[in-house]
């Protein structure tokens, strides 16, 4: 259910409707829009009694949302969600593309700083790197854990890039929350939710709905390829998901062509395609010595290739009316977390 407030409804009226919803035993999710506020209702098993809410001052209408996902839906919030960060102009979901780059995993201080320096210089505003790695084999490198997070915090300090890293379970989540700016899946911080490798569009949006229904609206989605019969790539990058998501949801969507293809030579072409199709940003793996990488070397770009990717993406972005951050501008205020 969705309560649509009148354009001139006061904050007090919005508050009163939220209180009423909570009193009825449900959860209220006020979503301020450009012209009006909508209030999503979750926690109801069946229909909420519409009349009571409809009568309240400031209420325009109460409508049933027929789709299983509600808070992620454009029915609830028409405008795009733009995730902002303190101390930087970088956003996820704004007119500028969000460029996330870095190695698959943080392997050492030297490796992380070498890659960070290069991707920052090329224009990335977000640095990625796994401190905890979900691996198929127990014998593969599992990540540096907290030491990896500490290295990333130093990178934020030095370059002003915001840090995106993955939490893989409850234990790692607490530590990742402490150090990162965006959690790949997670809690109170902005969350980058990657599509499951066999998730349908609806399942993906429902996974996001879980996070929003707990009260965190700063969620960005990420297409990273799905499993198909094709064996010329690691996964099949499903770029048609981008416009499909944008039609139904206000959440930003990034594309990860590194895991999406698994092949270095396909990362730049698919990055161009992702920007052309309307993605809100890219997440790309970069390593200065991919042949020695402890994970995902074959899909990691050399820094020079990332420079070239950014040059090409800049041109495509202009065609679709998007901007790409200027090359390596250090925002002085960006040092603070
Ligand atoms: C990653 O981004 O490092 C990663 C493990 O991605 P995915 O979950 O998409 O395989
Ligand atoms: Mn990886």
Q: Which of 237, 233, 297, 302 is nearest to 272 (CA)?
A: 237
Residue with tokens 């349908």: 200
The residues near 106 (Cβ < 8 Å, ≥ 6 apart) are 112, 129, 130, 131, 143, 144, 148, 151, 152
Q: Is the CB of 194 under 6 A from ligand 1?
A: yes
Q: Is 161 in the pocket of ligand 1 (CB under 6 A)?
A: no
pLDDT of 334 reads: 45
pTM surpassing 0.95? no
Q: Cα–Cα distance between 183 and 191 in angstroms, integer?
A: 5
Shortest-distance atom of ligand 1 to CA 134? 5
Which of 164, 168, 204, 259 for a ligand 1 pocket mutation test, highest count of atoms within 8 Å of Cβ? Answer: 259
Find the 37 Cα to ligand 1 centroid distance in Å.
36
- Give the domains, in start order, of the chain with CATH numbers: 2-63 (3.30.70.1140), 83-319 (3.20.20.70)
- The rounded distance, in Å, linking the Cα atoms of 70 and 213 is 9
**Tell me, what's the pLDDT at 330?**
61
Quick check: CB of 259 below 6 Å from ligand 1?
A: yes
Q: Which residues surround ligand 2, an ion (CB under 5 A)?
A: 104, 296
Output the pLDDT for position 1. 85
191 Cα–ligand 1 center, Å: 14
The series of mean pLDDT values per 10 residues for the chain, 337 residues long, is 91 95 92 87 76 90 84 90 92 96 97 98 96 85 94 97 92 90 73 94 94 89 96 97 97 98 98 98 98 97 97 96 80 46
The predicted structure's pLDDT at residue 157: 96
Q: Centre a 10 Å sphere on the Cβ of residue 132 and count the other Cβ atoms it contains.
A: 25
Q: What is the pLDDT of residue 186?
A: 45
Q: What pLDDT does residue 182 have? A: 87
Q: Is 224 in the pocket of ligand 1 (CB under 6 A)?
A: yes
């Amino acid at each position: 259910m969705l309560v649509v407030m009148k354009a001139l409804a006061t904050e007090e009226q919005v508050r009163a409707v939220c209180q009423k919803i909570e009193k009825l035993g449900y959860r209220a999710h006020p979503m301020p829009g450009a012209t009006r506020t909508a209030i999503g209702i979750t926690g109801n098993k069946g229909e909420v009694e519409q009349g009571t809410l409809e009568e309240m001052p400031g209420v325009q209408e109460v409508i049933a949302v027929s789709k299983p996902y509600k808070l992620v839906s454009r029915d609830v919030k028409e405008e795009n969600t733009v995730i902002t960060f303190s101390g930087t102009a970088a956003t996820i979901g704004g007119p500028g593309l969000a460029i996330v780059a870095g190695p698959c995993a943080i392997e050492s201080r030297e490796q992380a700083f070498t890659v960070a320096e290069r991707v920052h210089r090329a224009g990335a505003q977000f640095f990625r790197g796994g401190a905890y790695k979900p691996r198929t084999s127990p014998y593969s490198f599992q990540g540096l854990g907290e030491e990896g997070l500490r290295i990333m915090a130093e990178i934020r300090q030095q370059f002003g890039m915001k840090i995106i890293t993955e939490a893989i379970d409850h234990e790692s989540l607490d530590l990742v929350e402490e150090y990162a700016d965006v959690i790949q899946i997670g809690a109170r911080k902005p969350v980058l939710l990657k599509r499951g490798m066999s998730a349908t569009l609806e399942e993906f949006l429902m996974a996001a709905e879980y996070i929003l229904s707990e009260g965190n609206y700063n969620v960005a989605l990420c297409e990273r390829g799905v499993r198909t019969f094709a064996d010329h790539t690691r996964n099949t990058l499903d770029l048609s998901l981008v416009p499909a998501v944008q039609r139904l949801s206000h959440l930003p969507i990034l594309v990860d062509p590194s895991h999406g293809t698994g092949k270095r030579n396909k990362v730049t072409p698919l990055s161009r395609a992702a920007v052309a199709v309307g993605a809100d940003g890219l997440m790309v793996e970069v390593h200065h010595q991919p042949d020695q990488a402890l994970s995902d070397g074959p899909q990691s770009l050399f820094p020079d290739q990332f420079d070239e990717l950014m040059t090409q993406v800049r041109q495509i972005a202009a065609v679709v009316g998007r901007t790409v951050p200027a090359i390596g501008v250090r925002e002085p205020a960006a040092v603070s977390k």
